[in-house]
Structure 1
Amino acid sequence: MYTVLVIDDSPSMRRIIKDMINSIDEFEVIADAYDAYDAREKIKEYEPDLVTIDINMPKMNGVTFLRNLMRLHPMPAVVISGESVRGNDIFDDGAVGFIPKPDSGESMAAFAKRIKESLLNLTFLLKRYTLKKPTPKKKVISKKHMDVERKIHPDEVIRSTPARSSFGAKKLIAIGSSTGGVESLLKVFKSLTNNLPPILITQHIPYGFSKSFADRLNDNSCLTVHEATDGMILEEGHAYLSPGNMHLTIEKVGSVYKTKLLDTVKVSHHRPSVDVMFRSINNVVGGGSTMAIMMTGMGDDGSIAMKELYDNGAYTIAQNEESCVVFGMPAKAIQKGAVKDIVHLNEIAQYIIDFSSGKKR
């Protein structure tokens, strides 16, 4: 059961949303709040798994509250608002979902259906990011769990069969990120030049938002950024973002490298998974021509395969604790001895440029 805090200044809308959410088997509204300050106290008291936020609220608007929430107490947040034009903006501010309030022509039954579909699509994220326990138990990967992962077909690159670097003079850059990654990646991409090796990105992101995020990166960067589709040739000056419901891997076809999307089981509790992407690169390209970057995020996805890349000669960096929204994934990679340099967010773009020109290795 996932607990929800509903935030809306309208008593009638709070009641409607509460009733709709409570009708979903896996969700329960444990409290509601009438403005941002009331919500702040309710979050401290109830520690919900998810909050819903209205944009038009007194004292502090929902966008400002969302930004503060992601900075001070990052957690899954869905905006339910009549301002549909703000959909992409609030995602960039850290929301994991956006549900427009019904217009005059929509029935309450249709609105309830949209809420149900949206929340059920987030259950995979909630399983991973629940904040009910302030100090999560250390994840233990059992032998049984590892065996299950290794039974997947080798073409799905879950097994580790490192290749020697076969890119020759060419290079490849891979970035993994999660909670806080949207804003952080935007900051990095704004400072990149357009003469870089291909960049692959796995960002934990709900299905339906990856295309708009890729477009946002493209609009704010000198690089050409794509939401990856199957069979795209990796080109210099281009970046490829994993879709929100597929693993992003690569394969060699003749003399070129192409994207290969996998609609398979979750790995490290995620699809897309950073571990899958990193391991694919290690298997197909090898470490000698690869730069792997671990950015802000909760959990440990990517740390195992990053260590394999590091051991195979890749240049690896992790975002430092000071500049992370959540110092989870970088911390796990550092603990495993998978990281050569620990870098502030403001410096990551320059490290990428330096690696591309041969100054970092």
Structure 2
Amino acid sequence: MYTVLVIDDSPSMRRILKDMINSIEEFEVVADAMDAYDAREKIKQYEPDLVTIDINMPKMDGVTFLRNLMRLHPMPAVVVSGESVRGNDIFDDGAVGFIPKPENGESMAHFQERIKDTLLNLTFLLKRYTLKKPKPLKPVAKTASTEIEYKIHPDEVIKSFPATFPGGKLIAIGSSTGGVESLLKVFRRLPANLPPIVITQHIPYGFSSSFAQRLNANSDLHVHEAKEGMILEYGHAYLAPGNMHLSIEKRRDGKYVTRLLDTKKVSHHKPSVDVLFRSVNNSAGGGAMAVMMTGMGDDGTIAMKELHDNGAYTVAQNKESCVVFGMPAKAIEANAVKDIIHLDEIADYIVEFAKGRRR
């Protein structure tokens, strides 16, 4: 049984969330809190496995509380908030999930289903957390940066090389939990003139745009949130929007074009890595490289196996460097992976593939 603390300044919303979460097998709300200061005491008292956090709260907003929580007592946190949260990159601040509050006449039954899907998808992470639950830490002085572990000196960026490569190359990356910071670490080291890169990161609608902007600001590559009909170019990367499947199509002139699909979830996700990888297999086949990075579940496994069997170069992040060794583990188990590599090696392997040195 996973214990939950609900944090929201609305008594009615606390009651709704408590009833909905308690109806999910393996989850129990042990307490609720009306603001960040109340939550701080309840966390000390109950030591829950998971907290849900509203953003718009009195005394201390949810984003500030989330940052303090990750600094002083890191634990799984899901943001449950309204449309005003969009633009706050809560995943960068440590959240493992985001559930928009109901709006525009959404039924409570549909809202409950979204809560259930999100929490059940987190059980793999919660299992790891509860096995080694940290003890509450005493407050410490705020450090100059919360990203020290991921900072890379500019001199470590891989040196660029001529823009002419063997034709038809395409690089596809799939990631989920832990992928935001892991992708940033990879992209900080990539040179400018690489073959096109396409990315599916499990991320809610409203956050993919700001994440694409952050990748762009921290990389020599030009990173975009993908839009319908974009022609893929060398030196550019394209991130799937948070509410659409990203697929790739090869035109008669040989150019790759993005296609956005507003269909049902695939492998429990939208966007889905399986959708992206299968389209890359159909368009680039053996000329592609597929990278499976940190994340829970098995999204991407089926299509990565198809890529592998079609002669594409497939790699998976190793267990030691993953936040959650779920998606890479499933791909490895399916014999869909040629090389298993550390997060720190992914950028190097992408460059070597682009140069024709890895297949």
Return the offset for 1:168: 6.2
Match of 1:129 in 2: 122
1:253-305 superposed Cα distances (whole Å, 9 cap, x missing partner) = 22111001111121111111111111111112112x11100000000011111
2:14 aligned to 18, 28, 31, which one? 18
Please give the secondary structure, in 1, of the residue aligned with 2:233.
Answer: coil
Q: May I ask how many residue pairs the two structures share in their alignment?
A: 304
1:40-92 superposed Cα distances (whole Å, 9 cap, x missing partner) = 66454xx45x62166949xx9530323677xx65x4511769xx899534331
For residues 268 and 98 of structure 1, the distance between their equivalents in structure 2, rounded to whole angstroms, comes to 19
1:107-166 superposed Cα distances (whole Å, 9 cap, x missing partner) = xx99xx9x999887665433433469839xxxxxxxxxxxxxxxxxxxxxxxxxxxxxxx
For residues 277 and 76 of structure 1, the distance between their equivalents in structure 2, rounded to whole angstroms, comes to 28
For residues 291 and 44 of structure 2, the distance between their equivalents in structure 1, rounded to whole angstroms, comes to 34
2:189 aligned to 191, 216, 232, which one? 191
For residues 13 and 53 of structure 2, the distance between their equivalents in structure 1, rounded to whole angstroms, comes to 9
Return the offset for 1:182: 0.8
Does residue 277 (structure 1) correspond to residue 273 (structure 2)? The answer is no
For residues 168 and 230 of structure 1, the distance between their equivalents in structure 2, rounded to whole angstroms, comes to 27
- Pairwise mapping of residues 202-213 of structure 1 onto structure 2 (< 5 A)? 202-213=200-211
131 and 307 in structure 1: CA distance in 2 versus 1, 3 angstrom threshold: closer
CA contact (8 A) 2:292 2:315 kept: yes
Please give the secondary structure, in 2, of the residue aligned with 1:296.
Answer: coil
221 and 168 in structure 1: CA distance in 2 versus 1, 3 angstrom threshold: closer
1:167-223 superposed Cα distances (whole Å, 9 cap, x missing partner) = 962311000000111111111111111110100000111112111111111111111
Match of 1:138 in 2: none
CA contact (8 A) 1:97 1:118 kept: no
Please give the secondary structure, in 2, of the residue aligned with 1:330.
Answer: helix
79 and 122 in structure 1: CA distance in 2 versus 1, 3 angstrom threshold: closer
Return the offset for 1:346: 1.4
217 and 133 in structure 1: CA distance in 2 versus 1, 3 angstrom threshold: closer
CA contact (8 A) 1:21 1:116 kept: no
For residues 313 and 7 of structure 1, the distance between their equivalents in structure 2, rounded to whole angstroms, comes to 50
Match of 2:52 in 1: 51
Please give the secondary structure, in 1, of the residue aligned with 2:88.
Answer: helix
Does residue 338 (structure 1) correspond to residue 336 (structure 2)? The answer is yes
Aligned AA (1:52): I
Match of 2:93 in 1: 93
**Can you give the 5+ residue segments of structure 2 that lack an aligned partner in the other structure?**
129-164
CA contact (8 A) 1:79 1:90 kept: no
Match of 2:357 in 1: 359
2:67 aligned to 59, 63, 68, which one? 63
For residues 300 and 71 of structure 2, the distance between their equivalents in structure 1, rounded to whole angstroms, comes to 26
348 and 274 in structure 1: CA distance in 2 versus 1, 3 angstrom threshold: same
23 and 35 in structure 1: CA distance in 2 versus 1, 3 angstrom threshold: closer
123 and 325 in structure 1: CA distance in 2 versus 1, 3 angstrom threshold: same
Return the offset for 1:17: 4.7
Please give the secondary structure, in 1, of the residue aligned with 2:349.
Answer: helix
Aligned AA (2:302): I
- Pairwise mapping of residues 216-231 of structure 1 onto structure 2 (< 5 A)? 216-231=214-229
CA contact (8 A) 2:86 2:207 kept: no
Aligned AA (1:211): S
Please give the secondary structure, in 2, of the residue aligned with 1:90.
Answer: coil
Aligned AA (1:304): I
Q: Identity percentage over the alignment?
A: 57
126 and 133 in structure 1: CA distance in 2 versus 1, 3 angstrom threshold: closer
Please give the secondary structure, in 2, of the residue aligned with 1:92.
Answer: coil
Aligned AA (2:271): P
RMSD after superposition: 3.7
Return the offset for 1:340: 1.2
Match of 1:149 in 2: none
Match of 2:311 in 1: 313
For residues 64 and 191 of structure 1, the distance between their equivalents in structure 2, rounded to whole angstroms, comes to 29
Match of 2:179 in 1: 181
CA contact (8 A) 1:4 1:52 kept: no
For residues 175 and 281 of structure 1, the distance between their equivalents in structure 2, rounded to whole angstroms, comes to 11
What is the TM-score normalised by the length of structure 1? 0.72
CA contact (8 A) 1:230 1:259 kept: yes
CA contact (8 A) 1:292 1:315 kept: yes
For residues 297 and 341 of structure 1, the distance between their equivalents in structure 2, rounded to whole angstroms, comes to 18
**Can you give the 5+ residue segments of structure 1 that lack an aligned partner in the other structure?**
101-108, 136-166
Aligned AA (1:275): D
Match of 2:132 in 1: none
